[in-house]
Every structure is written in C-alpha cells, then in structure tokens.
Structure 1
C-alpha cells in the first residue's frame, strides 16, 4: 500500500447568508431553534507536490440573479493563498448546485472530477421538476458539458483514490451524485462533507437539510462520513459559520477569510 501524503487543508469563505429561519436548514423544526446562517466556502488542499481545489463557488452575476450576496469571487480567495486559478490542474466538484460550480471558465487548465451520477442527474427526468431544478443553473450545466466535450472531465463511480491520502466518496442524498472528500493530514483523516451536511447539527442530530434528493441516502451518508473521518472533530460541514470560529487562520491578515483544517480546532 502506498504511503499517504500529508496534506494541508484550508476553507476559504467567499459569501455569507446570515439570516435563515430554522425551516430553511432542517427537516423537522424544533420550537427552540433560532436563526442560523450559512457561510459559503471553497476548499484548498496542498501536498505531495500538487494543489487541489474543492468546489469553485459562484460569481457576482449569479449572486445578482439569485438575490445573494458575495464578498469576493472564490478565485480572489485563492489568490490570497498564493494560488492562481488559471494554473490549477485539479478541481473536484462535490455536486453541481449553483453555489459549487459557477466558475468553470476561470480554471481553464483543470481536470474536473465529478461523479457519474451527478452528470446523469442534471440531465435526467428529475430536472423536469422545479423542486430539483431550482438549485442548478443551466449555464453551469452547459459549461460542464463543454468541459466534457473538451476532454476535461474525470468521472468517478463511487469511492476512488485520487492520490495517496486523498480520495472521493459518493454520498448522495442532497443530490444524486454528491461526493465528499477524504484527506490525510497531520491530525488524521479529515472529511470535507460539503453539502452532505450543511451544518454541524444536520449530521450531529440527524436532522437533514431540506434541499434533498433522497432523505434516506442523506442520513445513511452521515454514517458513512463518520466512518471515514478520524473523529467527529475531523468532519467539516459545507456551510456552517462555526467552521470559521473553530479553526485558526493560517495568517493574521486572513482572519475571517481563510481557516486551516489540518490542525486541531481552537474552539
């Protein structure tokens, strides 16, 4: 067995949605629940002589179209970490919702890793229904089709190692083809859950997020994530503002923008 590389892992915040009511975040609202916002991240993994970008966020045009805010384009966050999007060679798309795949054109050299089932899903009969379709942007789907015809897509069917100590794992639930990323770090196996669990309470309390393709798969996916991670502290949800409080910035000037996930939490 190949010895895994030891990776550094960063969450880069690019947008926020501070005011969300409980029904927007959980199936089965508790009377004691209060408002809980979302942060929007991409993730950067570096090690073994390679750079991996996990998800690529959305841009200002889509933010305006959907009435969302954006702090900075995700590629600007990468620049703060010394990474030029135009030079990135590997991008992992956890799923193709509008806030995860909106900047394909800014990564012209990248191989784009996606699950078979996600590309199947976005062109399937389910897209007849607004309940499923509203979380996708047609232009983003077409960009991925262009990338396919340009021989830039790398398809994965389930769980697969991308490099020693770095792998993708099909979870489903939130979308048909959602995948999480498992990465070996100095503190053990960290799992980037992405939207398999938007918030810590989604998986800690088994209370699914309401934008969902298959509730049963989502709940089973939480169990899978726990098996993959070294501990609960090694599971990183996709949109929880608490991630920015639990983990330290890599440099003081990046406080509130980037946190490092390959070190122990500070809170």
Structure 2
C-alpha cells in the first residue's frame, strides 16, 4: 500500500477580541473565579505537493468595525505570508457560514467552496427568523455564498466526505447546525481542525460549551467526535484559543506571532 503524503498544516492569526469574561466563553460561566480568555481568529492551510486547501476565509474590515473586533491582517494577506495567492486557491473548506469563518469570499476568486448541505439550509432557512440565531451570520456573506452557488462554485457535503487521501470532512453541528471539522493527515498523525466545534481548549476538555450555540446536545456530542477523529487531545486544534500561538512554533522566525505549524508536536507550557 502506498504511503499517504502528509500535509503541512498551519494556523494564521488574523484578528482578536479582548476583554472577555468567563460568561462570554462558557455557557455556565457565572463563577466569579472564571477568567475570560481573549479570542484569536484564525484561518488554516493544509498543503502538500499535490494539493492545497484553505480552511475558512475569516472576515474583513467592515465586519471588524461592526462587531468591535481587532482586525490585524486581512486573511488573504495572512495566507500570502506562506506564499499562497488567495486569488489562485483552488479549494476552500468552509467549516460553517458565521461571519468570522465565511467573510472575504470574494478574495478567493478561483476557488470552489466545500460546505455541509445542512449549513446552507440552516443559514438560509426558518431559523434565521430568530435574531439570536442569525446574529453570528452576516447577511451579505450569506448572499455572497448564494451567488457562488448559482455560479456553480459550491460543493455540498453530507456528514462525512473525503476530499483527498489524508483529508476528510466530518459534520458535528452544535455551534451551527452544519458545522464541519477537517481531519488532516500530517507527519505527526491525524490532526483535527476543530474550528468552532470547540472555541477553546477549556470548552472540550472541561465539557463546558461555548454560549453561541444552536444545539447544546450536538455540541457536547461533538467533543467525543473530536477525540475519536484525532490521535490524541494534543491533535485537536480549537478554533479561537490564543494558546495555539504559544504551543506551536512558527514556520520561520519572521512569522512568529502570526503563523504557526500544527504538523509538529506542541511544546509543554
């Protein structure tokens, strides 16, 4: 049997949100001893000799201003630090359609986009009549997605799909109804880009859901799915935890604080 070529795997930090309390990060976060963690915002890249996948497209300056987030670098500029031209990227995985994961779609003018069909139904269906459920979406991003669908550039998936030898998509739901995670084969084994299946390490490790949630039961069940898919807890990459930047090394010294490699073992803190 031919060995699977491992992917290089990177996280690129493009924005942050500071001043958060415990109640902002945990559904039961009313304990005064809970310390709120900042959120870092990431896009990810899985790359090898034959394929390159960008995972999520982040948000731009308009969303940052509207939602009080600090945009540090446009996501397309972030992946350019790895020598990747967003306009020429062929494949983009959208973990879900929330504003911070599916903005700036226009920067990826050659890509086809991979999304769970359940997420498209959710983001354009009756649940969007509820202000609390539509709040994490940006209507212009969703309209942009619909236009891409009419242009034939959306590839829909149903629960589990293989995009390449060594890269599969898995629907977990919970945070958003069609949330999906990416399982990626790397030189250190199977790593799972969890995205918002767990915002922080503390969410899944302590079984404490993040407050922005569509279905709490599915979110909790998703923690077990992450563990089943990953080689260990150290192979699960949360969607917004600042610790990711401390645990993993940059691919080059000049990228420290902006890009880290996830295909190597994390250091101990």
Give the TM-score of the pair, scaled to structure 2.
0.97
Per-residue Cα deviation, 1:178-212 (whole angstroms, up to 9, x for no partner): 00000001100000000000000100000000000
Residue 223 of structure 2 corresponds to residue 222 of structure 1: yes
**1:50 match:** 51
**1:71 match:** 72
Give the distance between the partners of 1:4 and 1:168, measured in 2 at CA.
17
When the two structures are aligned, how many residues end up with a matched partner? Answer: 267
Per-residue Cα deviation, 1:10-68 (whole angstroms, up to 9, x for no partner): 00000011210000100112332112110000001101411100000000111112222
**1:5 match:** 5
**2:259 match:** 258
**2:137 match:** 136
| 2:16/2:38 contact within 8 Å kept | yes
Unaligned runs of 5+ in 1: none
Give the distance between the partners of 2:133 and 2:201, measured in 1 at CA.
24
**2:15 match:** 15
Unaligned runs of 5+ in 2: none
Give the distance between the partners of 1:134 and 1:20, measured in 2 at CA.
18
**1:161 match:** 162
| 2:25/2:36 contact within 8 Å kept | no
Alignment root-mean-square deviation, CA: 1.0
What secondary structure does 2:109 align onto?
Answer: coil
**2:182 match:** 181
Residue 232 of structure 2 corresponds to residue 234 of structure 1: no
What secondary structure does 2:43 align onto?
Answer: strand
**1:191 match:** 192
Give the distance between the partners of 1:2 and 1:141, measured in 2 at CA.
41
Give the distance between the partners of 1:44 and 1:194, measured in 2 at CA.
13
What secondary structure does 2:152 align onto?
Answer: coil
Once structures 1 and 2 are overlaid, which stretch shifts more, 63-72 or 139-148?
63-72
Task: Give the C-alpha shift of residue 2 in structure 1.
Answer: 6.8
Once structures 1 and 2 are overlaid, which stretch shifts more, 144-153 or 57-66?
57-66
**2:83 match:** 82
